[in-house]
Amino acid sequence: MTDYDPEKGYIAILGWSLNAIDAVDRFDRRYIVVAPPWAEDYCKQNDIPYMAWDFDRLNERSYELATKLKDEGVDVAIPLFEETVEWAGAVNSVLLKNPRLLGQSMLFRDKSLMKRRAQLGGIRVGVFEEAHDRGDVIRFLVRVNQTLLKLDGDPNDPIHFKAFDKSGTAGHRVIRTPEDVDNIPDEEFPALLESHLDGWEFAVEAWIKDRKIEFLNISEYVTLGYSVFVPATPELEKHRARITEEIEKLIEAFDIDFGFIHPEYFLTNDNKLYFGEVAYRPPGFNALELIERAYGFNGYQGMVLMFDPKATREEIDAFFPEEVKDAKGHAGCFGVYPRRRVVSRLEIPEATRDHPYFEYHQLSEPMEQKVTKRTAFGTHWGLAYFFGEDPHRLRDLLKAQEELDFYV
Amino acid sequence: MAEDAPDAARLAGTLDVALQRLEQARRFNKHRYQMPVLDVVSRLIQVPGGLEVLRERAPALDAAGLFWGSDWEAPATLLPQLVGQTLSSDDRTLVALEVANLLRFLAIAQGRATNPNLHAEHARHFLTQVLALNLRHFFAGNSEADRQEANPGLRQNVFRFVAEHVGLEDVLGVLVDEIWRILEQRPVQSAPVKEMITQMAIAMTRQGLDAGAERLGVERLVSALFGPTTECRDDPGVAVYLGRLGHLDEAGLHREAQGFARAMHDTGLVSDYHAAFLRWVAPIAEVELVPEALGLGPTGKDCWRRWRGLAVDLIDAAVSEWTPQAAYGLAMLLERGILHLPPLAPALRRQMSMQLTPGTAQRLALAFGDAVAPETRLLAGVLEVLGQPLGVGQGANPTCQSARAISMWALNDPDYLLNLIAQAGEFDSVLMHFEGQPINSADLPAGLALSAPIDADPVSVVLVPHLDRIYAEMGRLCAPRGGEPHRWVNPEFHGWWVSRACLVAVDVGTGRLAEFDTFLTRFFKSYDPRFNGGRPLIHPQPAGIAVTDSAARFVGWHAIAILRVAEDQHGDMRIYFYNPNNDSGQDWGGGVVVSTSGFGERHGEASLPIEQFCARLYLFHDDPVRPPGIGAPVPEDIRARVHQMAVESWAAERLPEDGVVLAGSTDRAAPG
């Protein structure tokens, strides 16, 4: 950090992400990284402003952290991970003198509370229940399939299992059989159970200031947990007005004054929008990177503008481009998971390597030869990046990657 | 979007995106954006026009931080010898990094870019050395080994591209210097040097090169190989040449013999014509041309007179167009006078009558082809190793101890070496004893070199698989004792003449310096004639070196042999030693540059001023007892200087403090 504008806010980022630190360091605001003590040496070596904090400790100490940051002169705290969302809520309720922020952050941390709150706000959600043990999961699986008038022996419709406090796809399992239930580790309880919705799944990234959406991106999933691209196809983008309304409902239901949200939706065959879940932090799967590739702005820096109470209208307007129209192309990525049980080396398939849309990959040589069965979404071995003009061609290309061997 | 553009232009666009992200990133996050850039670079290398795209962007790649955090970050410490190997790596990322680096050097050499750590002159010198060392990769077709690489044409393309921009005249000049430097060490394995000279000859013809000074240097080498005398100056082919010999008078034959001898002793290389000449003149009893053709001095001539029958038979059995270097081996063997050792002549007779086991014969054929019988190949190798003990090299194998042992036996115990070769050749097994316990190599699993080496001289090809296993077994037997195993292994493995006391500079358990002062004092008292009462070193002594790179960073433990300790022409006390590494001239950093000529070295010897040598020494052998009161005390300032140099290099992180055990303590690192 060399130069910053003293007229602008002083930002604390909660959690350790080199990409976020890199982006904020390149921005024009003073900042400090709040991270566990193991980061200290690294920060010292690289001149990264740093405050040690152990987020594993009980939340009772959040006031202590808030006081420390206040004494430091920090204006606002930005959470980087699911685990720091409620810390940021607690800290910001002190820094911004708004006690409501703590309660709001708790809603984002508990998937069941979140779903009920959305339902109360008039947002359409699927059938869901809480599970505290495997028995709850079996019961839900059976009940859902009874409702669907399945007979004994018919293959079950799947249900979705999401650990309460895990982020993104990490704790997300698809359950079809009682054996799947047996494979759930104890530490993933309690969890949210949801019926399966057939339809088009997508995510939204929304930058919000003064209860108003400043930028709304739609990330189209090709296959959940494998591939995503931005901006979406025209077929999905034509629902943008409705989607914007849904986000506005979320802003009301969750009382969001400012910040960044990352909800997921289903568009079912009967053209209804179902709310899945929402997170108050940057998305996984490098969605911000894809947005930067397509639009040219840095998502983390955008978040700083949303959180900073000293940000001006002019700088916000100058920062964000116009959705869809200003995109230079469509950017997508594919999460590679070996298809073979035994692999010896990385070999980018020829069809991928020679495709004009293929940009680069971040895959490395296999660490071990035996491939374990993929247990949850999001456990890919690395990402391959694509960029091109035609969203349909990109979508089909991403889909085609699922049939290729990157590890042989 | 340059979707329909040719590959190079389209990939250039992709590279610019990746490059821009790398540029933007803060230093602490560079590593995340280096991989994508390298991925695109590796694809660009393989499309037509890709190298040009990279050449244009090389300065930007450097400035963006592509090399940060890697060995390439300090360009001045890079070694040209490693480039060829890196480019043939299976790891595409490494290849991409190396190509990007070469093009960065090119940009700096051409003045299109600057780097605070690299001068244009150094960059240019580096590139010419790289090209010189890889000449064979861009003139001729690929060798069998090259064809097995992931990208057979890639290396050739890269070198050609660089050569087009650097200019070939420069390359030849550097190459000539490089070849002379290597020849000065008289390696037994002369094939790579001969190959380089051949490639130069082809290049000169093809490129029509007529640059003055370079051409002279090249011609001296080319003529030594392809036309050293009047009658073969036009390189007529052996058959024509032999026809010409029949028409020469005695004076003409003497002139031929002297011409061959001069070229051979000038370069250490033997022309095919020389081999043919020797075979032709050896049976002629009336005129004695062999001593002249071998360029023998008084000792050699004396041996020739006493062992003429044996020598003629050796020429007949070992010297051929496919094994011409045996002539140099024989010349040096005679010159060393070792035929006067009673067992040697009969042992060589045994060697000539030997029938190799199929396994041994097969290994030799695999290594050298089947143009001559494997027995001939081995006999030629035996003459070369006995004639040039210090020319033995380990090849690209982690078997420095085995190569060192062969060299020391050839120097010091030649009949024992012949005995080992006979065992291995006739039984495919070698029997040694460790403290009375027999160890038979045939009963043992593979040692350090998992497969038998084939890129070494014939004696090594036959012996090293056995020696390597036995050495490993002796180490295994010592493992329960704790401490440095070489203490017991070295004397048992090599011979009684290895001193029984052994000093190690580090504590084997922690890898940290321990009693370094005592270590140094004992070394000077034992080896330096200024402090040991003026006693010369009697037998070669194995020793261990902590090898460091040109930035003085620790690389690994390495086995060498101390040969003698003497003052050079400037009055500086030097250690002359044998390094089984194929090229002893190495830069160990911190100003420690191993010399191979110019400081009184004999062919094949490496040397360092004694203090610099001690600054990399970590293990040596010493007599357990010494007559009391002999020699002068070792001054404190000498030890202080050595200590300083050691802790500034390999011992930097091995200071004797309490703390964590270091990775790479001596028991774990296998010397190579």
Phi/psi of residue A172, nearest 5 degrees: -95, 120
B36·A365 Cβ contact <8 A: no
Closest C-alpha to A333, from A377, A294, A285, A392: A285
CATH of domain A201-327: 3.30.470.20
Q: Is 90 exceeded by the pLDDT of residue B560?
A: yes
Q: Does A117 touch chain B (CB under 8 A)?
A: no
| Best mean pLDDT range from A31-35, B207-211, B475-479 | A31-35
Per-residue pLDDT, averaged over A369-398, amounts to 84
Count of other CB atoms within 10 angstroms of residue B659: 10
At B199, list the tokens.
Answer: 């490639």
Residue A374's pLDDT band (boundaries 50, 70, 90)? Answer: low
Report pLDDT for A169: 60
Report pLDDT for B604: 93
- pLDDT for B85-100, tens place per residue? 888 888 888 999 999 9
Contact B289, B259 (CB under 8 A): no
Count of other CB atoms within 10 angstroms of residue B277: 29
At B391, list the tokens.
Answer: 């020319």
Per-residue pLDDT, averaged over A393-408, amounts to 93
A388·B10 Cβ contact <8 A: no
B3·A329 Cβ contact <8 A: no
Mutate to test the interface with B, among A26, A359, A387, A389 (most CBs of B within 10 A): A359
* From A329, A353, A387, residue closest to B43, measured CB to CB: A353
| Residue-range domain boundaries for chain B | 7-166, 174-226, 227-334, 341-498, 501-647
Report pLDDT for B545: 94
Higher pLDDT, B214 or B301: B301
Q: Does A296 touch chain B (CB under 8 A)?
A: no
A387·B17 Cβ contact <8 A: yes
Angle, helices B168-184 vs B191-207, to 10°: value is: 160
* Distance to chain A for B65, nearest Cα, Å: 15
Question: What are the Cα distances from residue B336, in Å, to B296, B301, B312, B331, B382?
Answer: 10, 11, 17, 9, 14
A46·B28 Cβ contact <8 A: yes
* Distance to chain B for A364, nearest Cα, Å: 9
- pLDDT for A197-208, tens place per residue? 778 889 999 999
Report pLDDT for B22: 95
- pLDDT for B120-161, tens place per residue? 878 887 888 788 777 766 654 444 444 445 556 788 889 888
Mutate to test the interface with B, among A16, A22, A44 (most CBs of B within 10 A): A22
Higher pLDDT, A369 or B620: B620
User: How many residue pairs bridge chain A and chain B with CB atoms within 8 Å of each other?
Assistant: 53
Per-residue pLDDT, averaged over B608-620, amounts to 96
Contact B291, B306 (CB under 8 A): no
Q: Is 70 exceeded by the pLDDT of residue B290?
A: yes
Residue A304's pLDDT band (boundaries 50, 70, 90)? Answer: very high
A26·B26 Cβ contact <8 A: yes
Helix and strand numbers (H, E) in chain A are: 15, 16
Q: Is 60 exceeded by the pLDDT of residue B205?
A: yes
Report pLDDT for B146: 47
Question: What are the Cα distances from residue B457, in Å, to B352, B383, B396, B463, B585?
Answer: 18, 11, 12, 10, 20
Q: Does A40 touch chain B (CB under 8 A)?
A: no
Q: Is 80 exceeded by the pLDDT of residue B208?
A: no
Contact A360, A382 (CB under 8 A): no
Higher pLDDT, B382 or B122: B382
Residue B65's pLDDT band (boundaries 50, 70, 90)? Answer: very high
At B384, list the tokens.
Answer: 């070369």
Say what the ipTM of the complex is: 0.83
Q: Is 70 exceeded by the pLDDT of residue B663?
A: no
A46·B27 Cβ contact <8 A: yes
Backbone dihedral region of B479: left (phi > 0), alpha (psi from -120 to 50 degrees) or beta? alpha
Rounded Cα distance, A393 and A386, in Å: 11
Per-residue pLDDT, averaged over A167-188, amounts to 79
| Residue-range domain boundaries for chain A | 10-108, 128-195, 201-327, 331-401
Residues ≥6 apart with Cβ < 8 Å to A241: none
- pLDDT for A37-71, tens place per residue? 999 999 999 999 999 998 876 567 888 999 999 99
Using CA atoms of B157, B162, B164, B166 in order, give the dihedral in degrees to the nearest 10.
Answer: -160
- pLDDT for A113-165, tens place per residue? 888 899 998 899 888 888 898 888 888 888 888 877 766 677 778 888 888 76
Residue B295's pLDDT band (boundaries 50, 70, 90)? Answer: very high
State the alpha helices, DSSP H only, in A198-239: 234-237
Whether domain A10-108 has CATH 1.10.730.10: the reply is no
Instruction: Report the amino acid identity of residue B95.
Output: V
Lowest mean pLDDT among B224-228, B343-347, B451-455, B577-581: B451-455
Rounded Cα distance, B538 and B411, in Å: 12
Mean pLDDT over each residue of chain B, to the nearest integer:
88
Q: Is 90 exceeded by the pLDDT of residue B653?
A: no
Per-residue pLDDT, averaged over B28-41, amounts to 92
Q: Does A63 touch chain B (CB under 8 A)?
A: no
Closest C-alpha to B622, from B492, B557, B484, B525: B525
Contact B397, B453 (CB under 8 A): yes
Residue A225's pLDDT band (boundaries 50, 70, 90)? Answer: confident
- pLDDT for A307-362, tens place per residue? 999 999 999 999 999 999 999 999 999 999 888 888 888 888 999 988 999 999 98
- Topology of the domain comprising A128-195: Dna Ligase; domain 1 (3.30.1490)
Pairing status of strand A212-223 against strand A172-175: unpaired
Angle, helices B212-226 vs B250-267, to 10°: value is: 120
Contact A360, B18 (CB under 8 A): yes
Tell me the percentage of chain B whose pLDDT exceeds 70.
91
